[in-house]
Chains A and B, each alone.
Chain A
Protein backbone atom coordinates (compact mmCIF):
# COMPACT_ATOMS: atom_id res chain seq x y z
CA UNK A 1 0.00 0.00 0.00
CA UNK A 2 2.80 2.39 0.88
CA UNK A 3 4.57 1.78 -2.42
CA UNK A 4 1.43 2.31 -4.47
CA UNK A 5 0.57 5.42 -2.48
CA UNK A 6 4.04 6.79 -3.20
CA UNK A 7 3.66 6.04 -6.91
CA UNK A 8 0.17 7.52 -7.17
CA UNK A 9 1.04 10.50 -4.99
CA UNK A 10 4.25 11.28 -6.85
CA UNK A 11 2.50 11.19 -10.21
CA UNK A 12 -0.62 13.14 -9.25
CA UNK A 13 1.43 15.54 -7.13
CA UNK A 14 3.76 16.29 -10.03
CA UNK A 15 0.75 16.99 -12.25
CA UNK A 16 -0.70 19.24 -9.55
CA UNK A 17 2.59 21.11 -9.24
CA UNK A 18 2.66 21.67 -12.99
CA UNK A 19 -0.99 22.68 -13.05
CA UNK A 20 -0.40 25.22 -10.29
CA UNK A 21 2.15 26.96 -12.47
CA UNK A 22 -0.77 27.98 -14.69
CA UNK A 23 -3.47 28.47 -12.08
CA UNK A 24 -2.43 29.63 -8.63
CA UNK A 25 1.30 30.36 -8.88
CA UNK A 26 0.95 33.40 -11.16
CA UNK A 27 -1.56 34.90 -8.72
CA UNK A 28 0.73 34.22 -5.74
CA UNK A 29 3.57 35.90 -7.59
CA UNK A 30 1.34 38.85 -8.50
CA UNK A 31 0.25 39.27 -4.88
CA UNK A 32 3.86 39.12 -3.70
CA UNK A 33 4.82 41.69 -6.26
CA UNK A 34 2.10 44.01 -4.96
CA UNK A 35 2.87 43.37 -1.32
CA UNK A 36 6.63 43.64 -1.66
CA UNK A 37 6.58 46.56 -4.04
CA UNK A 38 4.94 48.57 -1.31
CA UNK A 39 6.68 46.65 1.40
CA UNK A 40 4.54 47.14 4.51
CA UNK A 41 3.28 43.66 5.10
CA UNK A 42 6.12 42.36 7.20
CA UNK A 43 8.03 45.52 7.84
CA UNK A 44 11.33 44.46 6.35
CA UNK A 45 13.71 45.97 3.87
CA UNK A 46 12.96 44.29 0.60
CA UNK A 47 15.87 43.26 -1.47
CA UNK A 48 15.70 43.33 -5.22
CA UNK A 49 17.78 40.28 -5.96
CA UNK A 50 16.01 37.33 -7.48
CA UNK A 51 17.18 35.21 -4.55
CA UNK A 52 15.19 37.26 -2.10
CA UNK A 53 12.07 37.07 -4.25
CA UNK A 54 9.77 35.39 -1.79
CA UNK A 55 11.89 34.76 1.27
CA UNK A 56 9.88 37.49 2.79
CA UNK A 57 9.68 36.25 6.33
CA UNK A 58 11.74 36.26 9.43
CA UNK A 59 15.18 37.75 9.42
CA UNK A 60 15.81 37.37 5.71
CA UNK A 61 18.69 34.94 6.24
CA UNK A 62 16.60 31.77 5.93
CA UNK A 63 17.21 29.83 2.78
CA UNK A 64 14.61 30.21 0.03
CA UNK A 65 14.57 28.81 -3.50
CA UNK A 66 15.48 31.28 -6.24
CA UNK A 67 12.63 32.43 -8.46
CA UNK A 68 12.24 30.55 -11.70
CA UNK A 69 13.20 26.94 -12.21
CA UNK A 70 14.32 26.35 -8.63
CA UNK A 71 11.12 27.68 -7.11
CA UNK A 72 8.98 25.75 -9.59
CA UNK A 73 11.03 22.64 -8.88
CA UNK A 74 10.50 22.90 -5.13
CA UNK A 75 6.80 23.58 -5.62
CA UNK A 76 6.51 20.40 -7.68
CA UNK A 77 8.53 18.33 -5.19
CA UNK A 78 6.57 19.57 -2.17
CA UNK A 79 3.29 19.00 -4.03
CA UNK A 80 4.41 15.43 -4.64
CA UNK A 81 5.06 15.15 -0.90
CA UNK A 82 1.59 16.42 0.03
CA UNK A 83 -0.03 14.19 -2.59
CA UNK A 84 1.86 11.12 -1.31
CA UNK A 85 0.74 11.92 2.23
CA UNK A 86 -2.90 12.38 1.18
CA UNK A 87 -2.73 9.18 -0.91
CA UNK A 88 -1.63 7.21 2.14
CA UNK A 89 -4.42 8.63 4.29
CA UNK A 90 -7.00 8.07 1.54
CA UNK A 91 -5.89 4.49 0.93
CA UNK A 92 -5.98 3.67 4.65
CA UNK A 93 -9.54 5.01 4.79
CA UNK A 94 -10.51 3.02 1.68
CA UNK A 95 -8.99 -0.11 3.16
CA UNK A 96 -10.81 0.25 6.47
CA UNK A 97 -14.12 0.90 4.67
CA UNK A 98 -13.61 -2.11 2.42
CA UNK A 99 -12.60 -4.39 5.27
CA UNK A 100 -15.09 -3.26 7.87
CA UNK A 101 -18.09 -2.23 5.79
CA UNK A 102 -17.61 -4.10 2.56
CA UNK A 103 -17.38 -0.86 0.61
CA UNK A 104 -16.27 -1.53 -2.95
CA UNK A 105 -12.96 0.10 -3.89
CA UNK A 106 -12.32 0.98 -7.53
CA UNK A 107 -11.82 3.97 -9.78
CA UNK A 108 -15.52 4.94 -9.61
CA UNK A 109 -15.83 4.86 -5.83
CA UNK A 110 -12.39 6.48 -5.75
CA UNK A 111 -13.96 9.54 -7.35
CA UNK A 112 -16.39 9.76 -4.42
CA UNK A 113 -13.49 9.37 -1.97
CA UNK A 114 -11.67 12.14 -3.82
CA UNK A 115 -14.65 14.47 -3.53
CA UNK A 116 -14.85 13.65 0.18
CA UNK A 117 -11.17 14.55 0.49
CA UNK A 118 -11.83 17.84 -1.30
CA UNK A 119 -14.66 18.58 1.13
CA UNK A 120 -12.55 17.70 4.17
CA UNK A 121 -9.28 19.38 3.23
CA UNK A 122 -10.42 22.32 1.10
CA UNK A 123 -14.10 23.22 1.46
CA UNK A 124 -14.56 22.79 5.22
CA UNK A 125 -11.44 24.72 6.34
CA UNK A 126 -11.99 27.38 3.65
CA UNK A 127 -15.43 28.23 5.06
CA UNK A 128 -13.72 29.52 8.20
CA UNK A 129 -10.31 30.45 6.83
CA UNK A 130 -10.62 31.54 3.18
CA UNK A 131 -7.66 30.84 0.89
CA UNK A 132 -5.03 33.52 1.34
CA UNK A 133 -2.64 35.35 -0.92
CA UNK A 134 0.71 36.69 0.31
CA UNK A 135 0.42 40.19 1.71
CA UNK A 136 -2.82 39.61 3.61
CA UNK A 137 -2.71 40.05 7.36
CA UNK A 138 -4.36 37.32 9.36
CA UNK A 139 -4.87 35.77 12.77
CA UNK A 140 -2.01 33.94 14.50
CA UNK A 141 -0.48 31.16 12.43
CA UNK A 142 -0.53 28.43 15.07
CA UNK A 143 -4.15 29.14 16.02
CA UNK A 144 -5.17 28.93 12.36
CA UNK A 145 -3.24 25.73 11.81
CA UNK A 146 -4.86 24.13 14.85
CA UNK A 147 -8.32 25.22 13.75
CA UNK A 148 -7.60 23.91 10.23
CA UNK A 149 -6.55 20.49 11.56
CA UNK A 150 -9.50 20.38 13.97
CA UNK A 151 -11.96 21.26 11.20
CA UNK A 152 -10.54 18.70 8.77
CA UNK A 153 -10.61 15.96 11.43
CA UNK A 154 -14.19 16.75 12.53
CA UNK A 155 -15.45 16.96 8.93
CA UNK A 156 -13.78 13.66 8.05
CA UNK A 157 -15.38 11.99 11.07
CA UNK A 158 -18.79 13.50 10.24
CA UNK A 159 -18.65 12.32 6.61
CA UNK A 160 -17.56 8.83 7.66
CA UNK A 161 -20.47 8.60 10.12
CA UNK A 162 -22.96 9.99 7.59
CA UNK A 163 -21.92 7.47 4.94
CA UNK A 164 -21.12 4.34 6.91
CA UNK A 165 -23.18 4.40 10.11
CA UNK A 166 -26.49 2.56 9.89
CA UNK A 167 -29.89 4.23 10.34
CA UNK A 168 -30.31 6.70 13.18
CA UNK A 169 -26.64 6.40 14.09
CA UNK A 170 -25.95 8.77 11.21
CA UNK A 171 -27.38 11.57 13.35
CA UNK A 172 -24.15 12.52 15.19
CA UNK A 173 -22.82 13.70 11.81
CA UNK A 174 -25.34 16.56 11.93
CA UNK A 175 -23.92 17.64 15.27
CA UNK A 176 -20.29 17.27 14.21
CA UNK A 177 -20.42 19.11 10.88
CA UNK A 178 -21.21 22.62 12.20
CA UNK A 179 -19.06 22.17 15.32
CA UNK A 180 -15.89 23.90 14.03
CA UNK A 181 -17.92 26.97 12.98
CA UNK A 182 -19.81 27.15 16.25
CA UNK A 183 -16.49 26.87 18.02
CA UNK A 184 -15.32 29.59 15.65
CA UNK A 185 -12.34 30.10 13.37
CA UNK A 186 -9.55 32.32 14.70
CA UNK A 187 -10.70 35.90 14.35
CA UNK A 188 -9.42 37.70 11.31
CA UNK A 189 -8.53 41.39 11.20
CA UNK A 190 -11.35 43.54 9.82
CA UNK A 191 -9.27 44.51 6.80
CA UNK A 192 -6.58 42.01 5.83
CA UNK A 193 -4.90 44.61 3.62
CA UNK A 194 -4.93 47.44 6.13
CA UNK A 195 -1.14 47.57 6.16
CA UNK A 196 -1.08 48.60 2.50
CA UNK A 197 -2.05 51.79 0.72
CA UNK A 198 -5.46 51.89 -0.97
CA UNK A 199 -4.27 51.02 -4.49
CA UNK A 200 -2.24 48.02 -3.30
CA UNK A 201 -5.09 46.84 -1.10
CA UNK A 202 -7.52 47.02 -4.03
CA UNK A 203 -5.09 45.14 -6.28
CA UNK A 204 -4.55 42.47 -3.64
CA UNK A 205 -8.27 42.08 -3.19
CA UNK A 206 -8.78 41.55 -6.92
CA UNK A 207 -5.98 38.99 -6.99
CA UNK A 208 -7.47 37.31 -3.95
CA UNK A 209 -10.86 36.93 -5.64
CA UNK A 210 -9.24 35.22 -8.60
CA UNK A 211 -7.06 33.14 -6.31
CA UNK A 212 -10.00 31.67 -4.40
CA UNK A 213 -11.47 30.37 -7.65
CA UNK A 214 -8.15 29.18 -9.04
CA UNK A 215 -7.31 27.35 -5.82
CA UNK A 216 -10.80 25.85 -5.56
CA UNK A 217 -10.81 24.53 -9.11
CA UNK A 218 -7.24 23.28 -8.92
CA UNK A 219 -7.89 21.47 -5.67
CA UNK A 220 -11.17 19.98 -6.90
CA UNK A 221 -9.48 18.53 -9.97
CA UNK A 222 -6.53 17.36 -7.88
CA UNK A 223 -8.73 15.49 -5.40
CA UNK A 224 -10.86 13.94 -8.11
CA UNK A 225 -7.80 12.65 -9.95
CA UNK A 226 -6.13 11.53 -6.71
CA UNK A 227 -9.27 9.69 -5.57
CA UNK A 228 -9.72 7.89 -8.89
CA UNK A 229 -6.01 6.97 -9.00
CA UNK A 230 -6.03 5.74 -5.40
CA UNK A 231 -9.19 3.70 -5.95
CA UNK A 232 -7.75 2.16 -9.07
CA UNK A 233 -4.39 1.42 -7.46
CA UNK A 234 -6.01 -0.06 -4.36
CA UNK A 235 -8.15 -2.39 -6.44
CA UNK A 236 -5.27 -3.31 -8.72
CA UNK A 237 -2.37 -3.63 -6.27
CA UNK A 238 -3.42 -3.60 -2.64
CA UNK A 239 -6.65 -5.28 -1.67
CA UNK A 240 -6.34 -9.04 -1.68
CA UNK A 241 -9.05 -11.15 -3.22
CA UNK A 242 -10.58 -11.81 0.19
CA UNK A 243 -11.49 -8.20 0.77
CA UNK A 244 -12.52 -7.48 -2.80
CA UNK A 245 -14.61 -10.66 -2.93
CA UNK A 246 -16.29 -9.74 0.35
CA UNK A 247 -16.90 -6.24 -0.94
CA UNK A 248 -18.72 -7.42 -4.03
CA UNK A 249 -20.74 -9.96 -2.09
CA UNK A 250 -21.80 -7.38 0.48
CA UNK A 251 -22.32 -4.50 -1.90
Chain B
Protein backbone atom coordinates (compact mmCIF):
# COMPACT_ATOMS: atom_id res chain seq x y z
CA UNK B 1 0.00 0.00 0.00
CA UNK B 2 2.59 2.48 -1.01
CA UNK B 3 1.37 5.92 -1.76
CA UNK B 4 2.58 6.52 -5.29
CA UNK B 5 1.69 10.14 -5.22
CA UNK B 6 4.36 12.41 -3.81
CA UNK B 7 2.78 14.51 -1.15
CA UNK B 8 4.94 17.31 0.24
CA UNK B 9 2.46 17.95 3.04
CA UNK B 10 3.49 14.74 4.75
CA UNK B 11 6.91 14.81 6.33
CA UNK B 12 9.19 11.80 6.39
CA UNK B 13 8.73 11.48 10.17
CA UNK B 14 4.96 11.35 10.25
CA UNK B 15 4.39 9.00 7.31
CA UNK B 16 5.30 5.66 8.87
CA UNK B 17 2.97 6.16 11.84
CA UNK B 18 0.21 7.42 9.60
CA UNK B 19 0.53 4.34 7.40
CA UNK B 20 0.73 1.83 10.25
CA UNK B 21 -2.32 3.30 12.01
CA UNK B 22 -4.11 3.12 8.68
CA UNK B 23 -3.24 -0.57 8.41
CA UNK B 24 -4.45 -1.22 11.95
CA UNK B 25 -7.75 0.49 11.18
CA UNK B 26 -8.21 -1.42 7.92
CA UNK B 27 -7.38 -4.74 9.56
CA UNK B 28 -9.75 -3.94 12.40
CA UNK B 29 -12.59 -3.09 10.03
CA UNK B 30 -11.98 -6.25 7.99
CA UNK B 31 -11.87 -8.38 11.14
CA UNK B 32 -15.14 -6.95 12.44
CA UNK B 33 -16.74 -7.57 9.05
CA UNK B 34 -15.50 -11.15 8.86
CA UNK B 35 -16.56 -11.81 12.46
CA UNK B 36 -20.10 -10.52 11.88
CA UNK B 37 -20.54 -12.55 8.69
CA UNK B 38 -19.14 -15.63 10.40
CA UNK B 39 -21.38 -15.19 13.43
CA UNK B 40 -24.56 -14.88 11.39
CA UNK B 41 -23.67 -17.26 8.60
CA UNK B 42 -21.54 -20.01 10.09
CA UNK B 43 -22.03 -20.28 13.86
CA UNK B 44 -23.08 -23.76 14.99
CA UNK B 45 -25.00 -22.47 18.02
CA UNK B 46 -28.57 -23.65 17.57
CA UNK B 47 -30.39 -20.45 18.61
CA UNK B 48 -28.16 -18.44 16.25
CA UNK B 49 -28.77 -20.98 13.48
CA UNK B 50 -32.52 -20.82 13.98
CA UNK B 51 -32.65 -17.04 14.06
CA UNK B 52 -30.51 -16.70 10.93
CA UNK B 53 -31.97 -19.75 9.21
CA UNK B 54 -33.75 -18.10 6.27
CA UNK B 55 -30.90 -15.65 5.85
CA UNK B 56 -28.40 -18.49 5.60
CA UNK B 57 -30.42 -20.38 3.02
CA UNK B 58 -31.03 -17.27 0.94
CA UNK B 59 -27.34 -16.34 0.99
CA UNK B 60 -26.53 -20.00 0.18
CA UNK B 61 -24.28 -20.44 3.19
CA UNK B 62 -24.04 -24.12 4.06
CA UNK B 63 -26.79 -24.44 6.65
CA UNK B 64 -27.73 -27.95 7.74
Minimum distance in angstroms from A81 CB to a CB of chain B: 4
A63-B50 in contact given A86-B37, A249-B5 (Cβ < 8 Å): yes
Which of the residues B25, B47, B63 comes within 8 Å of A132, measured between beta carbons? Answer: B63
Query: Which chain A residues lie closer than 8 Å to B58 at the CB level?
Result: 16, 20, 23-25, 28, 79, 215, 218-219
A78 and B26 alpha carbons, distance in the complex (Å): 24
* Residues in chain A near residue B22, CB distance under 8 A: 99
Q: For residue B41, which residues in chain A have a CB less than 8 angstroms away from its CB?
A: 82
Once the chains bind, are A92 and B30 in contact (CB under 8 Å)? yes
Task: Flag if A57 contacts B49 (CB, 8 Å).
Answer: yes
Check if A85 sits within 8 Å of B60, measured CB to CB: no
Chain A residue with Cβ nearest B58: A24
Q: Which residue of B lies closest to A216 (CB)?
A: B60
A138 within 8 A of B: yes
Q: Is A100 an interface residue (CB 8 A)?
A: yes
| Residues of chain A in range 7-66 having any CB-CB distance to chain B below 8 Å | 16-17, 20, 23-25, 28, 54-55, 57-58, 62-65
A170, CB-defined interface residue at 8 Å = no
B residues less than 8 Å from A125 (CB atoms):
60
Q: Does chain B have a CB within 8 A of A113?
A: no
- In angstroms, how far is the closest chain B Cβ from the Cβ of A52? 11
The answer to whether A144 touches B33 (Cβ under 8 A) is: no
* A62-92 at interface with B (beta carbon < 8 Å): 62-65, 71, 74-75, 77-79, 81-82, 84-89, 91-92
> Which residues of chain A are within 8 angstroms of B44 by Cβ–Cβ distance?
141
**A193 at interface (Cβ–Cβ under 8 A)?**
no
Q: Which residues of A contact B62 (CB under 8 A)?
A: 129, 132, 138, 141, 144-145, 148
**Known contacts A71-B54, A85-B35, A88-B29; 10 further A-B pairs (Cβ under 8 A):** A16-B58, A28-B58, A62-B47, A64-B51, A84-B33, A92-B30, A99-B22, A125-B60, A136-B64, A141-B44
Q: Write the residues of chain A forming the contact surface with B, with a CB cutoff of 8 angstroms.
A: 1-2, 5, 16-17, 20, 23-25, 28, 54-55, 57-58, 62-65, 71, 74-75, 77-79, 81-82, 84-89, 91-92, 95-96, 99-100, 102, 121-122, 125-126, 129-134, 136, 138, 141, 144-145, 148-149, 211, 215, 218-219, 242, 245-246, 249-250
